[in-house]
Each structure stands twice: as C-alpha cells, then as structure tokens.
Chains A and B, each alone.
Chain A
Amino acid sequence: MTVKPDYARPLDIKQGRVDMSHGSGGRAMAQLITELFAGAFDNEYLSQGNDGALLPQATGRLVMATDSHVVSPLFFAGGDIGSLSVHGTINDVAMMGARPLYLSASFILEEGFLLSDLKRIVESMAQASRVAGVPIVTGDTKVVERGKGDGVFITTTGIGVLRDDLRLSGDQAMPGDKILLSGTLGDHGMAILSQREGLSFSAPIVSDSTALHGLVAAMLDSGAKLRVLRDPTRGGLATALNEIAKQSGVGMMLHESAIAVNPPVEAACEFLGLDPLYVANEGKLVAICAPEDAQRLLAVMRAHPLAVAASIIGEVLEDAQGFVQLTTRMGGRRVVDWLAGEQLPRIC
C-alpha cells in the first residue's frame, strides 16, 4: 500500500461544520488554519508561522487596544462580525490619535458552526484589513462545545504608533471647546436591532461600520488643536460624552437641531421607543477641539468621504456637576444622562 505524503482531504467548506478536532491542536486544526485563515489573511508576518509575530522596530510611542465582538446576527446590512471586528479595533487605536499598524485576531468557535459561514466571515475580515491597510499578523482559534458559544466570537487587538507631540485623552476637554460629530447617529445599532426584530422599512437601515483612521489622519494633519477623539459605539453619543465630561470634570451643552439622524433610523427608534443618542455607531467619531479651530476642523472633516455630514453639535461648559445637557428643537433644555441599564423599549 502506498500512502501519499501529507495527504489530507481538503476542508468541506460547502457542507462542513466546525467540530471539536478543529480546536484540538492536531492535524484538523492545522488544516483549518492553513486553508481558511492563512490564505485569507496572508502577509509576511503571519506566514512566519510561529507562536507570535516578529514585527519591525516602530518609531513613536505605542498604542494598544483590544475589543471582543459578540454581535448577533453575525451578518447584517452593511457588514458582519468579521469586518466589524477589524473596524472596531482599528477605530479604538485611531481614537488615541495613533496610526494603526497591526492586528491580532482570536476566534472562539462553537462546535457545529458552518464552515461556509466561517469562510465568509474570514474573507470579510481579510477584505476589511486589506482596505484599511492594517494586516492581521497573528491569531488563535479555540472551539467550545455546542451550546457554549453563539456561533463565533472574535477578539481583535491592535497596535499603532503615535506622534510625539500628540496627547488626545478624555480628560483634556476644556470649557469653551467645541464638540464635533462626524455624521448621522444610530445607523449600526438600528441595522442590528431592526434585523433582529424582523422590522423592515421602505429604505433598509445599513450599518455604518467602517475604519476611521484615514479620517483621523486628515483631522490631525489639519493642525487643529484636538483634545479628545471618541468613537461613540456601545451606549452611543450620550455615553461617550458623559464619559468625557466625567474624565475632564466639565459639562456640555448640545444642540438637538445640529445632530443628524437618518430618517429610517429615526423611524425605527420611534417605533421601538429608543433614543438615537444612546444607539451604537461603528463608523462615527466625536471630536473636541479648541474653539478657534472648530470651523477649520469642520471643513476638513466635511471634505473627507466618511464625514460629509459632520457638524458642530455643541460646546464644553464649566460645570461642577458634569451634566451633559441638550437644547431641544422645541427650545427647552434637558439632561442627556448616562444610560440606565439596557436601553429597553417603552411600554405604552
């Protein structure tokens, strides 16, 4: 009998499913990594094939951020868990003012997960990473028994470098500063929620998931005195601004009429009793900058394709209580508070 050296039947991507052997460290795992991950993510660091990636010397201070992704549904209008896991971590690095260089990706797969879905997710990640110019240089895969995961969880970690003269931080906002928002609110959260609840609108709601480091680079190049950058993800704009107000020991006054929400998102929020200020975004940023630079920064943002709908939405105030307030379109005033618990729909 002749045995072909190194023969293994290729992965059955069409019909196959993840089983416990794919996480066992044996041949099946090696095959999964080679055929599914390595091919898609291909880059010189990953192909070193070692336990870690050896990276060249970087210049500048290092920034590191990590983010776990557990979204359901895994595929949604405007993206999937794969592209989201790339964008989310790149954005966290970018909000520090850093240039993202490398990503790691760690997968927790549930036994029984379709290999075809996994392939779709991995290819989407690879595509997002290529478009962003930030390679996935190392990774890990684990398999948990059926019922102990929700299909797939992905954790990504990013490393970037920061210019020596930059210091963006949540504690830098000063009374008088202007608050800028890069676009419409709530697109990601309502894309997910409307799909989960089976709501359909005349115009579908598409997630805004995207990598923002290009926009951030343009904003930094403008020379405007930036103090804080945040991406208002989970918890939305309200949460992001309350965090900054607390860190900086300031208050804020927002203007409702300057905050844009896409009509289908507004309708979906209305329908479910949600407030767009608290709904997640994955492709927006909020910037706080010195008042004299606000118009220049706004112009630079609006000239970038990812922030054409940018606007100045408010000012930083001196306020010992740290209230984030809003002047409503009606002309009244109210607090924009921290989210209490989950954002649940109202009853009647």
Chain B
Amino acid sequence: MKYVDEFRDGELAKNIVSNIAREVDPKSVYRLMEFCGGHTHAISRYGLVDLLPANVRMIHGPGCPVCVLPVGRIDQAIRLAREQGVILCTYADTLRVPASNNLSLMRARAQGSDVRMVYSTQDVLKIAREHPDREVVFLAIGFETTTPPTAVAVKQAAFEDLKNFSILCDHVLTPAAMHAILKVSGGVALDGFVGPAHVSTIIGSKPYEPFAEDYGKPVVIAGFEPLDVMQAILMLIRQINAGRAVVENEFIRAVTREGNLKAQELVAEVFELRDTFEWRGLGSVPDSALKLRSKFAPFDAELKFNVEYVAVPDNKACECATILRGQKRPQECKIFGTVCTPENPVGSCMVSSEGACAAHYGYGRFREVA
C-alpha cells in the first residue's frame, strides 16, 4: 500500500532503533508522553516498546476522544435518546462508553432507543433529511480533527434550513489539555511530548510553542505510522541530550506551522470557546472546549432540549483519571484485566483501541506475565 508501507518498513526501523540505542545517555531516564491515542495505538500495535531501551519510557496521554468524555456527557446523550425520543447519532466507540446506571448508548439502543453509529457528519444530515418528522441529534465528540466536519454539517443544516438537526457539542481542544497535564497537582514527571498527528494538520505546530518556550518541554509532532513515532522519539532524545526545548515537526508531509487555515476559519465561524469544560481525569479546564456561536443556536441540542449537564463521579475503583493524567500506568489499576476488560469496560480508557487500557490489554499484556 503506497504511502503507508514505507512508514511500516522493518529495515528502516532497525536504523532508527540503532540510532536511539547509540544516542541515549544510559545515566538518564527519558519520560516521553505521546499525547494522542493514535500514537498509543501505534506503539502498542507494532510492539514499539520492545524496540526502545529500558530508560526510554512512553507515558500515555489523554488524547483519546472517548476516554476524556466524563460520564455526565454520555448520560446527557442517553437521556436525549431515551426521554426525548430523538435519533441520536455518534461515532463508533462512543456507543460503548460506560455511563450511569450500568448503561451505555449501545445498551440504551438494545432497550429500544434510536441510537445510530455514523461514519461522518454527512450521514447525520442524510438521516435528518430522511426523517423530517423526527429530531436528529449528533453527539459531536473529538479533538480538533473532528471539529471541522461538524462545522460543515452545521453550516449545511443552516443553509438547508434543516430544523430537525442539532448537535450536542463535546468538541475539545488539545493545547488546553496539554496545559492542564503540565499543571496537574502533584505533577507528572515528563521530559517531552510526541505531538499530535491529525490534530496538528488542522491547528499547525504553532500552538505547541508555549510548551517548549514556557515549560521547557520539547515537542516533536509525529505521524501515526510506527516509523513516524520512532523517528519522533529519536528527535526528542536528541533535543533532551542537547538541553534544547523546541517544537519540531517529524510529520512534514501533512503538518505546517500555521495549519489548515480554511478549517480554522470554518471552526471559528461556527464555534466559540466554552468558559470551562469538565474532562475525565483533568477535571474542569477553562477554555478547553467549544460550543456553537449564538448565530447557530437553533442547532444547539443543549438549548433546544431540556438536558442539563449533570456531573457524575467516576467509579471509585477506576483509575482512568490518573491514567489519563499520565500518573499511573494501566496495569497499576486494581481492576485492570479483572473487573474491567474490553468486553465489560468500567472506565472509558478500556473502550477505544486508542485508550491506554484497551491498548495495553489488547496488545501488550503478555508483558505482565513475563
């Protein structure tokens, strides 16, 4: 597969591996956070940990869209589907996220609610056009990558005067979450970030500059293929060894400093910052999420329906919060792999293959036995 296989080439990987092995300082420990779930998945799926020296440690970050949604947000969507009889549409893994009362969107569907999985926001518009007599709500989740398609759908709905379409907006922002990680009380010991891939194609590399300049943490933006990740790790090691902290871009085939200006304009036209938003693991983070501008208020499900957000504490035994902050590893959670498994997830990190727990359970748990 052209343009993909090249980035999964085992021979090229060997070169990077030997460079890393040669350049790491055996007396140092390199604690690198991959922010994105896409990177977590690549690291686990390709077994990259096996290729790294023991003193290069990867810490999984919170960049998994379904992982950071607090229970209350899923509850809100379930209430819409069950109590208001809407057609509730959302992306794949969101259906499986555990919510209150032992429910999930998937279980709500099994109990009779009309919950549908969609591949794109265009599917939602189509459903709305086909069911003019029903209210159709899109549970819009994700970081900056999934926000522009939602903006397109809202604008299209406004243009078509689609009165039965609205969104429950849970779009969140990457730089705000990275700030929150660095400000975590008790601290997260980390020496650098593998920066987001797809998110950075939209926002560019510029928004990461404060992490290098103000916090002294090197950032290397990397693609989601295994060679991208390995190369970024090597680049981070070189910065750390040289005592430098700058934003570097490994993913030059897709990311520029300014990012996708057209997408940014579109998002700015449709959305504005929420004052604050509750994240799983990070708590309430100011200016970390988006809501629809008043101009598009008719499409805001939170205004259209009576579904107030009610914060719900996580399951007490679940360590998702500390894992999302990078303070604990999945295997350090007491219920990992026993009570909490991909079949019966207790916490959201066990749901998506991008979640730290699901990735470790699905790909890496042989290491716990060895």
Contact = CB atoms under 8 A, between A and B. Distances in A.
B20 to A, nearest CB: 13
B146 A348 contact: yes
A89 B25 CA distance: 60
Interface in A193-232: 197
Contacts of B48: 330, 332
B143 interface: yes
Contacts of A330: 8, 10, 13, 46-48, 51, 226-227, 230
Interface stretch (A147-155, A300-308, A336-344): A336-344
Interface in A295-332: 321, 323, 325-332
B13 to A, nearest CB: 5
Nearest to A265: B1
Interface stretch (B89-97, B176-184, B210-218, B298-306): B89-97
A270 interface: yes
A337 B363 contact: yes
B14 A331 contact: yes
B280 interface: no
Given A270-B1, A334-B47, A348 B38 contact: yes
Given A334-B363, A348-B142, A328 B47 contact: yes
Interface in B136-182: 141-143, 145-146
B62 interface: no
A345 interface: yes
Contacts of B66: 347
A348 B65 contact: yes
Interface residues of B, number: 51
What range describes how many residues of A lie at the interface? 20 to 34
A321 B91 CA distance: 34
A333 interface: yes
A49 interface: no
B182 to A, nearest CB: 23
B45 A325 contact: no
Nearest to A251: B366
A348 B44 CA distance: 17
Interface string A257-282: 10000010011001000000000000
A347 B47 contact: no
Interface in B30-72: 38, 41, 44-51, 65-66
Contacts of A197: 119
B17 A331 contact: yes
A346 interface: yes
Interface centre among A327, A329, A330, by most chain B C-beta atoms within 10 angstroms, is A330
B4 interface: yes
Interface in A129-181: none
A347 B50 CA distance: 27
A332 B342 contact: no
Contacts of B1: 263, 266-267, 270
Contacts of A263: 1
B56 to A, nearest CB: 14
B365 interface: yes
Contact of A345 (B46, B119, B145): B119
A335 interface: yes
Contacts of B51: 330-332
11 contacts: A266-B1, A323-B369, A330-B13, A332-B47, A334-B45, A335-B362, A340-B343, A345-B92, A345-B119, A346-B38, A347-B354
Given A333-B47, A337-B363, A347-B142, 12 more contacts: A257-B10, A326-B47, A329-B10, A330-B46, A330-B47, A331-B13, A332-B49, A334-B366, A335-B362, A335-B366, A344-B92, A347-B65
